Structure 1
């Protein structure tokens, strides 16, 4: 019998070297394996549930102010509007501002917990939840936001999430899930929760995960269970994972193609799990994918959207950032290099090659304001540039700055013997792209960026040269730069995305320039003013039913919704709190307004959906294990 399913007293990462998981070959023994998983899962859940019930922490005290926080937040929102009308300015109190982000998180969490608990999509206006797609994984909202609650020191939210993970998060009954979503959101969220609860036990402390407590290893054991089922997606002729997997049978669901970002953005999670458990199989499968991606021998360092799991070859030539989540692949390169403490230089080489060719093929400048635009080549690298930027592209300014400095302050990085003119140019490019992303926000009526923005550029303006300095913000009186911006009617929605805030976090912590914090605060207050779901007081009626006014109850904010139209006032809500809102966007706002030493960049990497992992040293069998083919 496979040792993976033996009863044991120690969790996987503590019983080395005796635990050696091996998967059953495809098609062999699947029925018995599934039964064993179900039995083991039921026993584990029963024991953990009993332990939780006796832990004395079922009803912790809430960590927010007395009274109705929704009412208080509503009054604060009105004060923001009054300040706008009167042009009042106050000295920034960043501690108070990070607490406002915490308030927004609490209200968002409370409404979701009350009406949509367990679902990965929540409608805060209708007050209902549902699964957003056939291959979506239950719990994405809960597991995704768990580490945010930890960072915000919200023990009651953490306890609610732990209870759901313990009693309801099961993988043996899920027949189809997205491989990448399950890996980055669920596996990543569980691993991040394990990291924070063990390395930073003072954040949202609860007895259940204390050393020696029955629930000490809940996160890591759930993560290992999920990873073992996900390994089936890698059983392909090339080793490139299928985009979907049947978790009930641990088998990938055959597909002719996988998005490159889905195939090459799972590495941080599996590598960290391998580091925790010592199981090199997790490491090997994702390292092999990177070798296949590299060996496919593209003309330059930019990759098309799709790769074949059967052949390990690219299926077309377009270079796009939209609809393909290409950002996940590019950021994974430099983050893999940093995650393993710069001991895998191959990933730095791949990143530098990609950045060089971004400059060569994709950079243009707008006609009037000379905004730096990162476009697409929708047909091929040799064909015309399309000057459009999806909001997802706004991850790149921060990632470029992170790669140039490795996360240390810019003043310190410049003293390093490794600092070069090229790195200085990288920082200039990062700041210019950040300014363009900020322009995408300022260009709408709500000051919230649309999903996609087009720019008017000169036909011959396709070079990697950097435009004017990004050190100066936009002048309020000069709006001529808006002539360069073209927002199409089908792109006016805002999905509460995190990428611009992530880049602001990196740029602020690296440069120390308060301008980036100020931009972030303006973004945050725009979210509060224009995406808040306000519950009005009920109508007051006479005995005959005639409306005579409103009751004495005050208005209150009960949640936040993405927007169907962010370019009109009042905006049009979509009635959807996106899964990224609590897990990513609010997390990055909170960290942006926190001290630099709180979860420092020098010690941490964030995965594609904002889950923090530690940097670590390579050891034993955990190493790159391959070299690039000559280019």
Structure 2
């Protein structure tokens, strides 16, 4: 028995003897492969952890810096300054004035026609004014007006001019909850419906927590989704809300518009996060994947995109039909890093947010933007040209809107890392100042708003400008 136990014991330990594997090269090779694979797995895992910790560390530094900026700004602007309070009240009074007129003459219609004191359904009868104003009413603290749009059977008072209260009773209409209906035979703009209706309902849901707004957002989003059923994933720009038939307008030659195709990601990804349903994000991400496949080295994508092959052609512009596609890449990339930071405890953590590609695409686009910047002479304004082939032309007012929007980023001047380099940051800041003074100059010299600005004709002194390159 002792011999048997000894033999059994020695057989167990023979696998630890190097001579065992030297006599069996195949088993030695298998052991080495397993060892290398395990080591590679552990090493890759550690590398990912280190990269994640590094990104989180950078984000923490940025959060602390922004918190310090906010604290500094808060300390610099005392609370409840009389003039500031008066200005806020005037803004609220203006909102109440406009809202009350809409309520009285055009309730439920898309917009108010002030001269005829009537309503018009220019947006398919989706109640665009109501849906687009709900979050503003909440932010301004106009809860009574908000409840009128949400609930039923209430009367309320509204504030009128000179800070007086006047009792105004209205028979409330059941609207968003029971009247807002998207089952309409209406050819809707996918872009406009997304930013105004889907975005308006989602922001109202975030502010109020009322599920009716999330349900309505999901309803309209489901009706828009067939627009992305294309070979490339680039969406059609028009869709019939009742039938689901999608197409592009004839004047584009059957092509999709860049700004309309690269804009809807924020709202649809937000909807996926809040509903836990990934289908909305999966649809809209296909458009960015398609754009990234043919993304040019200079980052300048023309405004017309073929929904079949994903190729783009036409004018290059940061204005109408091209603007939003570029300036939304940055918030999407920031949302990705924000997601890394809070993915463990974020409320809507079932759906991953975005990828780093948007950051790279945005930085490349900013480099391309610099190549389109010119100065006017003698006013020395910096502005962005349109490009058709090798020809540069003047810019429209949406570029000024785009430049003004950059002023909403407090980290612009102190965080050149948001751009590819300090030079790009300086150029953009110069564009902001040029835009500011150009707007003031226009208000001084023009009695009406114009849709186009000829920078060659604009100058503080002679209004005769000469196109020159940016140096």
TM-score range, shorter chain: 0.5 to 0.7
* Counterpart position of 2:216: 222
Q: Determine the structure 1 residue equivalent to 2:136.
A: 148
Match of 1:188 in 2: 199
Please list every run of at least 4 consecutive aligned residues from structure 1 whose deviation after the TM superposition is greater than 6 angstroms. Answer: none
Shift of 1:153: 0.5
Residue aligning to 2:309: 311
1:93 correspondence with 2:93: no
Q: Find the aligned partners of 1:174 and 1:317 in 2 and give their Cα distance.
A: 32
Q: Distance in 1 between matches of 2:418 and 2:257?
A: 35
TM-score (norm 1): 0.50
1:213-612, aligned counterparts within 5 Å?
216-253=210-247, 256-314=254-312, 316-324=313-321, 326-342=322-338, 344-360=355-371, 362-377=372-387, 379-380=388-389, 383-388=390-395, 390-400=396-406, 407-408=410-411, 410=413, 413=415, 418=417, 422-423=421-422, 425-444=424-443, 445=445, 449-456=449-456, 479-480=460-461, 482-484=463-465
Q: Note closer, same or farther for the CA distance 1:161–1:424 as it changes in structure 2 (3 Å cut).
A: farther
1:373, 1:433 within 8 Å by CA — same for their partners in 2?
A: no
Contact kept? 1:394, 1:434, Cα under 8 Å: no
Question: Following TM superposition, by how much is the alpha carbon of 1:358 offset from its aligned partner in structure 2, in angstroms?
Answer: 0.7
How many equivalent pairs are there?
Answer: 344
Q: 2:383 is paired with a residue of what secondary structure?
A: strand
- Deviation string 1:290-315 (CA, Å, 9 cap, x unpaired) is 0101112435211111112222222x
Q: CA offset at residue 428 of structure 1?
A: 4.7
Asked if the contact 2:188–2:240 (Cα under 8 Å) also holds between the matched residues in 1, the reply is: yes
Hey, what's the Cα distance between the residues in 1 that align with 2:311 and 2:460?
A: 47
Query: Compared with structure 1, are the counterparts of its residues 399 and 111 closer, same or farther at alpha carbon in structure 2 (3 Å cutoff)?
Result: closer
Give me the whole-angstrom Cα distance separating, in 1, the residues matched to 2:421 and 2:290. 29
Does structure 1 retain, via aligned residues, the 8 Å contact 2:300–2:369?
A: yes
Q: What do you get for the CA RMSD once the two structures are aligned?
A: 2.9
Q: Measured at CA, do residues 321 and 157 of structure 1 come closer, stay the same or move farther in structure 2, by a change above 3 Å?
A: same
Once the two structures are TM-superposed, the CA of residue 114 in structure 1 deviates from its matched residue by: 1.2
DSSP-derived class of the 1:334 partner: helix
Flag the structure with larger Rg.
Answer: 2
Partner of 2:114: 124
Rounded Cα–Cα distance in structure 2 between residues aligned with 1:349 and 1:230: 28
Following superposition, the deviation at residue 408 of structure 1 comes to 4.3
Cα distance in structure 1, aligned partners of 2:451 and 2:87: 26
CA displacement at 1:431 relative to structure 2: 4.3
- Residue by residue over 1:230-257, the C-alpha shift from the partner in whole angstroms, topping out at 9 and shown as x without a partner, is 1111112222111111221334246621
CA-to-aligned-CA distance 1:344-373 (integer Å, 9 cap, x gap): 32111111100110101x100011121001
Tell me how far 1:483 sits from its aligned partner: 3.8
Deviations 1:485-522 (A, max 9, x none): 99xxxxxxxxxxxxxxxxxxxxxxxxxxxxxxxxxxxx
Change (3 A) 1:392 1:419: closer
| Cα 1:114–1:484 shift into 2, 3 Å | farther
Q: Secondary structure at the match of 1:451?
A: coil
Report the 3-state secondary structure (helix = DSSP H, G, I; strand = E; otherwise coil) of the residue aligned with 1:158.
helix
CA contact (8 A) 1:172 1:248 kept: yes
Query: Deviation at 1:223?
Result: 0.7
8 Å Cα contact 2:413-2:429 kept in structure 1: no
Taking structure 1 as reference, are residues 102 and 330 closer, same or farther at Cα in structure 2, changes over 3 Å only? same
Q: Cα distance, 1:457 vs. partner?
A: 8.4
With a CA cutoff of 8 Å and minimum separation of 6, indicate the structure with the bigger relative contact order. Answer: 1
Alpha-carbon contact 1:137-1:177 (below 8 Å) kept: no
Is the contact between residue 239 and residue 309 of structure 1 (CA under 8 Å) also seen in structure 2?
yes
Confirm or deny: 8 A CA contact 2:413 2:425 kept in the other structure.
no
Alignment of 1:6-17 (within 5 A): none
**SS state of the match for residue 452, structure 1?**
coil
Deviation at 1:167, TM superposition (A): 2.2
Tell me how far 1:451 sits from its aligned partner: 2.2
Q: What is the rounded CA distance, in whole Å, between the counterparts of 2:307 and 2:412 in structure 1?
A: 41
Which consecutive residues of structure 2, in runs of 5 or more, have no partner in the other structure? 1-80, 151-173, 341-354
Q: Which has the higher helix share?
A: 2
Distance in 1 between residues matched to 2:453 and 2:86, nearest whole Å: 33
